[in-house]
Amino acid sequence: MTDTSKIDIRGVTKNYGDVRAVNEVDLVIEGGSYCCMIGPSGCGKTTLLRMIAGHETPSAGQILIGAEDMAHARTGNRGTALMFQNYALFPHLSLTDNVAFSLKVKGQPTAERREKAREMLDRVQLLHLADRVPSELSGGQQQRVALARALITNPRVLLLDEPLSALDEFLRLRMRVELKRLQNELGITFVHVTHTQPEAIALADQVVVMDHGTVEQAASPREIYDRPFSPYIARFMGGQNVLEARVTALNGEVGEATGANGVVYDVHDTAGLEMEQTIRLSIRRDKIAMKSADRPDRNAASGTVMNTEYQGTFVKVSLRTETGEEFIVYQDDAEFFANPSHVGETVNAHWDGALNHLLRGQNTSSGNPLEE
């Protein structure tokens, strides 16, 4: 099963006139895995998904599903099923006939295909509505019908185009669990396009972060979140502060870089670095200690508190550093309330230098992160 549902994308490019929507993408999605493609709108993630489904033809490159080249495989005949963003349920057909549609295309007799469709509707707990038409259903119910319609062909690969974006917050979280459970149960490959960072982190075995038609990083969610490749990913995925510094020491086990404000940062991963080179480091917002008595001059930041936001399990403290940059600390709630920071106060923060992560990628676009 897993080998036949592996997706291999080789040097795929898609041009629309002068616009290059997807730019020489190489990507392997393991069979039976849950892959989330994420990026700001216009980054090419949906175009890539539609090329896997066969709704768009690559301008160059190859797409293989289960080692078969899909160049000449017709849409609907390549073992993929696409779930559309607004579900695209047929408004003139009952739920049964919506779900049975692809079986009708295959020429199955009416009674037989309706029976199968009803079984599938039962599986998504909608059998009692089998004779309704889509307009009589709620958003969450429509989504489950769309899912049933996509799965009735037993696809090797299920492609989902922003499947949760039309749902309210409560339903979104519930359907998220449902999707993950379904993927575990079926053991097929899910490719899920989203622009919501927590969704990708929560669902995926593999997160593919895209920007400007290229894959910026493809890795496990933990890797992406903890060890982002570039400043863009660090900012887009959230939870990180990005610091700019100049390399000032390379001899010795741990290198050093100095920020504009004179603070020295440890650099552990010095391979390939040169003296005086400008680098960027990321440090997780939740690994920072607040309220040092003295102003430390190593692996530290100080600034004026601009805002504090209670988030339940932690407090988000926003500082403006002397160089005018934003620096955010996620402080444990108990710790914060034991010794709260107030807006306008100047505070010092420091952290363990071993946590400094070197961002090797050069992409610094902000990618309009939706999280804040």
Partner 1 sequence: MSASNAKRGVSFYLLAAFFTLFVVFLYGPMLIIFVLSFQGETGGLTFPMRGTSLHWFSDLFSSSRYGDLAGGFRRSTGLGLMSMTITAVCCLFAGLAFRSRFWGSGTLFYLCIVSLVVPGILLGLGISQFFQILGFRLQWWLSGLGAHLSWTLPFGLLIMFAVLNRYDNAWDEAARDAGATPRQILGWVTVPILFPGLIAVALFGFTLSYDELPRSILTVGGKNTLPIEISNMTTNVTTPALYAIGTVTSFVSFAVIALAFGLIAFIQKRRARA
Q: Report the residue number, 92 or 128, with the smaller CB distance to partner 1.
A: 92
Distance CA 58, CA 15 (A): 8
Q: Report the residue number, 91 or 344, with the smaller CB distance to partner 1.
A: 91
**Cβ atoms of 124 and 145 closer than 8 Å:** yes
> Cβ of residue 28: shortest distance to partner 1, in angstroms?
24
Q: Report the residue number, 89 or 121, with the smaller CB distance to partner 1.
A: 89
Angle between helices 139-151 and 169-186 (to 10 degrees): 20
> Cβ of residue 218: shortest distance to partner 1, in angstroms?
25
Q: Report the residue number, 186 or 254, with the smaller CB distance to partner 1.
A: 186
> Cβ of residue 75: shortest distance to partner 1, in angstroms?
5
What's the order of all strands across the beta sheet hosting 34-38? Answer: 80-83, 157-161, 189-194, 34-38, 206-211, 214-219
Q: Residue 329 forms beta bridges with which residues?
A: 317
DSSP 201-263: HHH-SEEEEEETTEEEEEE-HHHHHHS-SSHHHHHHH-SEEEEEEEEEE-SSSSEEEEETTS-
> Cβ of residue 330: shortest distance to partner 1, in angstroms?
40
> Cβ of residue 372: shortest distance to partner 1, in angstroms?
32
Name the residue among 33, 20, 28, 41 with its Cα closest to residue 213: 20
**Cβ atoms of 347 and 321 closer than 8 Å:** no
Q: Which residues lie below 8 Å from residue 150, measured CB to CB, with a gap of 6+? A: 81, 82, 83, 158
Q: Report the residue number, 91 or 272, with the smaller CB distance to partner 1.
A: 91
> Cβ of residue 52: shortest distance to partner 1, in angstroms?
12
Given the rule CB under 8 A, which residues bind partner 1?
53, 55, 74-77, 80-82, 84-86, 88-92, 101-102, 104-106, 132-133, 135-136, 149, 153
Q: Report the residue number, 21 or 279, with the smaller CB distance to partner 1.
A: 21
> Cβ of residue 83: shortest distance to partner 1, in angstroms?
9
Q: Report the residue number, 107 or 344, with the smaller CB distance to partner 1.
A: 107
Query: Which sign, positive or negative, has the C-alpha torsion 180, 186, 189, 194?
Result: negative
CB contact burial 117-128 (16+ within 10 A = b; e otherwise): bbebbebbebee
Counts for the chain of helices (H) and strands (E), in that order: 10, 20
